[in-house]
Structure 1
């Protein structure tokens, strides 16, 4: 029963960790409310969260070795809840929404790193791999619930979508009661005493870079879905919420399937993630319709749920206990950088294409992800034939 409570506490955090996606359901409404703002300025509502997430993931990785992780989790949850509720009451200036995103992002970055470290610390072997998959499933499942609720609330008024962040109160209660304050497996960190500070393995930085590039292409959907649906007259905020929910719902399936797919494909899981995501976006460019929007959402969700756990799995198998916390923080920082840089890079590249239309950003992402797919193929082949098993082999 105690183990069940610990898992429930960890998974309740995963359930709300992607709450920032609530903002994606009302980006078009925000654009209408602030007509003087540019496209990039509106997308920065999402991007500011990723910008704040970057230093938070690094700081959480460092503090994870010095401060009890339960307290880090509670701080992160309060940051997300307070930040998330701001636009529900203060929404007449874009700066308030930016401030909201910064607080949510800081909490999210701290939480993402700490959740992964907790799972790595408390679970081993097959159970650990299963927890990684369950975390991804709950992360996406939570996004489904929160975005559907946000879509319904936004029908009353777009700012009311942010009331969805009130769900975090439940997570705070569960974590306070069930997450242990002490380390359950102290023997794993016994070597820390008197040991020199371990550096993050170079292989972690490289896979982090690959995931960063994937997130640049992947984030196009969450950043543009609301604006695309509105410009094509395909629906309202509830339609956007459904599309985003389908994406995260597909991520639930991908999260549960990750352990089995990883056993078969190992490093090539990232290649599959890039190809599936690019394929969905290509269909959106070729056959623009609400049905294809939903299909692209599903492929994007599957791609994300397969790519991110790969890096976490790699860290758990290549990093030493002394390297674990800082390695996880560095890896999560790469995902934040990718998501934050996405609108800047994809929009800039899309601007180079003549006769641009509403689907140009998705076409740009298709090309970007196609190139990355080829790169991951060569990377997977090289690492699978490498003799340096301890550093580069991601699966036994």
Structure 2
């Protein structure tokens, strides 16, 4: 039976809050045109690298996360990651030094990578059954909300000064406090939720997992390209209201939030076909005329 402390709203809120900034690295892509003016001695590619640099260390520390957890424990790993993300994330607010900003972005990615996978894997430790599916949906929804809110705020603040857009990373410190206060240490077996005593079978990576992982890699690479190039595209095409891109990207992620929020209910119906169905919808919405013309 699920322990009461894992059923409380504040525990769930504190746990889900760590997902707010997991996909925020693309939120400040709208600052690229303004940063190019500040870093005029750097190439356009070098300035764009300030956005993508954090993805490199995110990937590295996602892989290192299991080893870090073994040494420091789950709670300390998450708290350390949040602290690093919060402190390094706001460094660009106070600096015009390209290399200092670049290093801060690398540290930001390291912090996010430390608890990136834990934001999902810990759900299996705390909850099970329908509650687990709902929490998985909520976790993805919070990611979408975080990206929507941070993109929207960054889009507004960039009109005043691109430095201000990086204030969105103060949210990491809010998550740090919530997690510190409401989420206990989960390194002992007694702290983990078990509805029943089950011996977990040995897990292995099969061809389906590899294929799915490759598909997700391509999907997120394309998604990152949309965020990375959209601001530059608006400037190059000389749109009258260039700042609207922040709102447009926020709406994009808001729709993702709605889908994530309903995930727990959708997966009950679509079951193992959920992944395939989502790609079918993406393909249709990307080019609906192609499907209509074939009908």
TM-score in same-fold range (> 0.5): yes
The question of 1:57 aligning with 2:56 is answered: no
The alignment covers a number of residue pairs equal to 281
Contact 2:27/2:227, CA 8 A, preserved across alignment: no
Aligned equivalent of 2:252: 247
Contact 1:53 1:108 in 2 (8 A): yes
2:172 is the counterpart of 1:165 = no
- Asked if structure 1 preserves the Cα contact closer than 8 Å seen for 2:154 and 2:164, the reply is yes
Q: CA deviation at 1:280?
A: 5.3
Say which SS state the counterpart of residue 17 (structure 1) adopts: coil
Deviation at 1:12, TM superposition (A): 1.0
Distance across 1 between alignment mates of 2:107 and 2:86: 9
Contact conserved, 1:72 with 1:114, CA < 8 A, in 2? Answer: no
Look up the match of 1:78: 83
In the aligned structure 2, how far is the partner of 1:65 from the partner of 1:75?
14
Distance of 1:232 and 1:175 partners within structure 2: 44
Q: 1:186 to 1:7 in 2, by over 3 A?
A: closer
- The unaligned stretches of length 5 or more in structure 1 are 287-396
Aligned to 1:185: 192
* CA apart distance, 1:35: 4.1
TM-score of the pair, normalised by structure 2: 0.83
1:101 lines up with 2:105 in the alignment: yes
Q: Deviations over 1:41-64 (max 9, x none)?
A: 333222211111111101113333
C-alpha contact 1:64 1:114 (8 A) present in aligned 2: no
Question: How many angstroms does 1:214 deviate by?
Answer: 1.8
Aligned equivalents of 2:59, 2:263: Cα separation in 1: 25
126-135 or 58-67, larger mean C-alpha shift: 58-67
Higher relative contact order (CA 8 A, sep 6+): 2
Q: Shift of the alpha carbon at 1:152?
A: 2.2
**SS of the residue aligned with 1:181?**
coil
Report the TM-score, using the length of structure 1 for normalisation: 0.63
| Correspondence 1:273-288 to 2 at 5 A | 273-278=278-283
Indicate the residue corresponding to 1:19 in structure 2.
Answer: 24
1:9 maps to 2:35:
no
* 1:25–1:244 Cα contact (<8 Å) kept: no
Paired residue for 1:391? none
Pairs within 5 Å for 1:190-269? 200-202=204-206, 203-234=208-239, 238-269=243-274
Segment of structure 1 superposing worse, 62-71 or 272-281: 272-281
3-state SS of the aligned residue for 1:255?
A: helix
CA-atom RMSD in angstroms: 3.0
Gaps of 5+ in 2: 290-295
Indicate how the Cα distance of structure 1 residues 266 and 30 shifts in structure 2: closer, same or farther if over 3 A, else same. farther
**CA apart distance, 1:175:** 0.5
